[in-house]
């Protein structure tokens, strides 16, 4: 895909049709317009964009109810465009202050090899039409920024601009401090580290005033940029501005180490008698007053001698009152879904899932839905492992072309801690961490992550997570579903992409914790693993692109419907066969039925 045009919209029902008509007239069949809307828009703009998207595939509606400010809207659009595979990303105003007919000159400049092309109102052939007060603020702000920061662009405050992939990924990796329009200046400072040029534009009909609060924020952030970047812009070593943590209100305190967790139920699946790892898990669960459900399969024992464990062999599974008991294939990891349903039926307040070759370490403890963590800067892909090591390692499911990208693992360890409401949390494992077959074939060795603060990935930032030491809370229970019609090595990874996309509609991000388990890995045929992972190597980017562009509904009541819509979309694009959909719909009905049963605890 060549060009993605990102345009946040809010209450533009009277002009959005003209905007799309004029913009699409400048684009090729391979380009896209990403219209970002959120709850600020109260009129019919979303409906009009949705209708246009239904008849023109170049129009993409990006519904982002999690947005808190205009910066969130732009960054959500950036991430969506990059995830869709766009080579260049152009941003423009949604109210026709920017002229779509000037898009071709940005394209011509990008074709010359520039990483960044900025639209300039204050150069020959450029123009400005609007109140003089706004002109003085924009022009004066640019002059002041260049004077104090040592930058050289003639327009340091405009928002009609085009980025290469690598330039925009640097923006997402570093983030911005401002939560208002000064973020454009922060970006332009960073762009001085890339090849850049400016083209003349005509800016028309801006709003008549700039709020006092916005001006104060601009001056405050300009001063912070001066402190960070003085003398460094031309040397290419500008200190990265930071995105401040935006904690959600924490209503439940984090758990006290060693405290009991009587509502906790652990779930695993196995084809062997109790391992040493399972015995250690059982001891940790017993100390916390928690239950354990073990799901068998056609291979493996008919009995499971483990104190405190409820073992469900295949013969008993067929008697369970769940549609999935009859629909799930045997000999597949997805039979673990039955364990989740049994945990729901027993009124689990939290579900901890793991495998029979993972043992809790000395740091393992029952967790709470509120996690204290450092926020990572928004980006498309995050290698969460790099927050806990400087060595070359990546989680299974991370696209291979992101492994060598330093932006994917960048994280500022000085980021302040904050409390985040996170109904899905992933713990790391030492010993034999969860990695792909490529890492094991080339770099395999015993591995230990360093201890460090947990990290929170904001909505819009992807990272695969697994099913080996993962915590779930009730509002995310419908997202536990493991698909059946994919390989064993992809079922939990592809689930993680669907779960993250639906999680964002709840306004929540994902948390990764430092290692809380040690994996004594069961024997694997690595070449077979590699073969089973090929669908992920070749399709993970396409999956997240499709999910990023999907319009879902915000709120807890829509979680199950959003899950179904995600699988319908992935089925329509050929990721899953249509045979997957009856299982997804059966799962949703089973979850609803299991959640309605009076609460009892697993033995």
| Domains identified in the chain and CATH numbers | 3-231 (3.90.550.10), 264-596 (no CATH)
Give the pLDDT of residue 393: 97
Round to whole Å and give the CA distance between 86 and 419: 34
What is d(CA 161, CA 201) in angstroms, rounded to the nearest whole number?
10
Q: Is 85 left (phi over 0), alpha (psi -120 to 50) or beta?
A: left
245 pLDDT higher than 90: no
Measured distance CA(174)–CA(168) in Å, rounded? 10
pLDDT value of position 252: 35
60 or 211, greater pLDDT: 60
Measured over the CA atoms of residue 524, residue 525, residue 526 and residue 530, the dihedral's sign is: negative
Q: pLDDT digits over 498-551, tens only?
A: 999 999 998 899 999 999 999 998 888 999 999 999 999 999 999 999 998 888
Judged against a pLDDT cut of 60, whether residue 14 lies above it is answered with yes
Element spanning 511, H or E: strand 510-519
Residue 396's closest CA among 497, 328, 480, 477? 497
Average pLDDT over residues 241-252: 34
The pLDDT-based confidence of 601 (bands split at 50, 70, 90) is: very low
Run of H or E residues at 191: helix 183-191
Reported in sequence order, the residue ranges of 235-312 that DSSP labels E, i.e. its strands, are 264-269, 291-295, 309-312
Q: What are phi and psi of 319, to 5 degrees?
A: -95, -5
What are the pLDDT digits (tens) for 347-366? 999 999 999 999 999 999 99
Give pLDDT, residue 164.
Answer: 95
Encoded tokens for 461: 């930032």
* Percent of the chain residues topping a pLDDT of 70: 87
Put the strands of the sheet holding 88-91 in their side by side order.
59-63, 32-37, 3-8, 88-91, 161-164, 116-120, 196-200
Band (133; pLDDT cuts 50, 70, 90): low
Q: What number is the average pLDDT over the span 450-456?
A: 96
**Calpha distance 217→210 (Å, rounded):** 11
Backbone φ/ψ region at 70: left (φ over 0), alpha (ψ -120 to 50), beta: alpha
d(CA 215, CA 520): 57
- pLDDT reading at 237 higher than 60: no
**Highest-pLDDT range among 177-186, 203-212, 238-247, 556-565:** 556-565
């Amino acid at each position: 895909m060549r060009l993605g045009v990102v345009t946040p919209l809010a209450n533009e029902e009277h002009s959005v049709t003209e905007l799309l008509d004029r913009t699409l007239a400048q684009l090729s069949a391979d380009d896209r317009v990403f219209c970002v809307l959120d709850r600020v828009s109260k009129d019919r703009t979303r409906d009009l964009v949705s209708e246009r998207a239904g008849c023109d595939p170049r129009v993409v509606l990006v519904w982002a109810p999690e947005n808190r400010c205009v910066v969130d809207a732009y960054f959500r659009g950036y991430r969506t465009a990059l995830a869709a595979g766009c080579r260049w990303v152009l941003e423009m105003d949604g109210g026709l202050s920017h002229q779509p007919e000037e898009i071709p000159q940005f394209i011509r400049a990008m074709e010359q090899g520039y990483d960044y092309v900025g639209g300039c109102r204050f150069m020959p052939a450029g123009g400005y039409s609007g109140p003089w007060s706004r002109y003085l603020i924009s022009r004066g702000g640019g002059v002041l920024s260049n004077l104090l920061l040592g930058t050289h662009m003639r327009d340091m405050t405009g928002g009609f601009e085009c980025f290469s992939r690598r330039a925009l990924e640097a923006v997402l990796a570093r983030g911005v401090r401002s939560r208002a329009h000064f973020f454009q200046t922060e970006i332009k400072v960073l762009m001085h580290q890339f090849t850049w040029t400016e083209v003349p534009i005509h800016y028309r009909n801006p709003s008549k005033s700039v709020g006092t609060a916005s001006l104060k924020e601009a001056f405050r952030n300009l001063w912070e940029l001066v402190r960070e970047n003085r003398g460094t812009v031309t040397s290419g070593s500008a200190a990265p501005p930071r995105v401040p943590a935006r904690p959600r209100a924490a209503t439940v305190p984090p758990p006290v180490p060693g405290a009991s967790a009587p509502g906790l139920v652990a779930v695993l699946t196995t084809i062997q008698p109790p391992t040493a790892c399972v015995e250690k898990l059982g001891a940790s669960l017993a100390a916390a007053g928690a239950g354990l459900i073990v799901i068998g399969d056609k291979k493996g024992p008919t009995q499971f001698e483990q104190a405190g464990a409820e073992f469900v062999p295949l013969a008993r599974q067929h008697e369970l009152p769940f549609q999935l008991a009859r629909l799930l294939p045997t000999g597949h990891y997805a039979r673990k879904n039955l364990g989740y349903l049994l945990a729901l039926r027993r009124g689990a307040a939290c579900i901890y899932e793991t495998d029979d070759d993972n043992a809790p370490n000395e740091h393992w403890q029952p967790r709470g839905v509120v996690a204290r963590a450092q926020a990572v800067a928004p980006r498309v892909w995050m290698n969460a492992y790099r927050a806990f090591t400087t060595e070359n390692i990546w989680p299974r499911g991370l696209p291979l072309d992101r492994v060598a990208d330093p932006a994917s693992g960048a994280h500022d360890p000085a980021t302040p801690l904050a409390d985040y409401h996170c109904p899905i949390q992933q713990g790391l494992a030492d010993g034999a961490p969860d990695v792909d077959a490529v890492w094991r074939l080339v770099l395999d060795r015993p591995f230990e992550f360093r201890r460090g603060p947990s990290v929170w990935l904001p909505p819009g930032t992807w990272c695969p997570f697994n099913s080996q030491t993962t915590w779930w809370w009730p509002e995310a229970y419908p997202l536990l579903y493991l698909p059946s019609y994919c390989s064993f090595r992809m079922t939990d990874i592809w689930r993680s992409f669907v779960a993250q996309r639906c999680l964002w509609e709840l306004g929540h991000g994902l948390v990764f914790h430092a290692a809380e388990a040690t994996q004594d890995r069961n024997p694997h045929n690595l070449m077979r693993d590699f073969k089973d992972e090929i669908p992920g190597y070749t399709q993970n980017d396409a999956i997240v692109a499709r999910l990023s562009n999907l319009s879902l509904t915000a709120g807890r009541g829509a979680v199950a419907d959003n899950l179904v819509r995600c699988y319908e979309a992935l089925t329509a694009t050929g990721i899953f066969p249509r045979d997957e959909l009856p299982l997804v719909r059966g799962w949703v009905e089973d979850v609803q039925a299991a959640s309605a049963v009076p609460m009892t605890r697993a033995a």
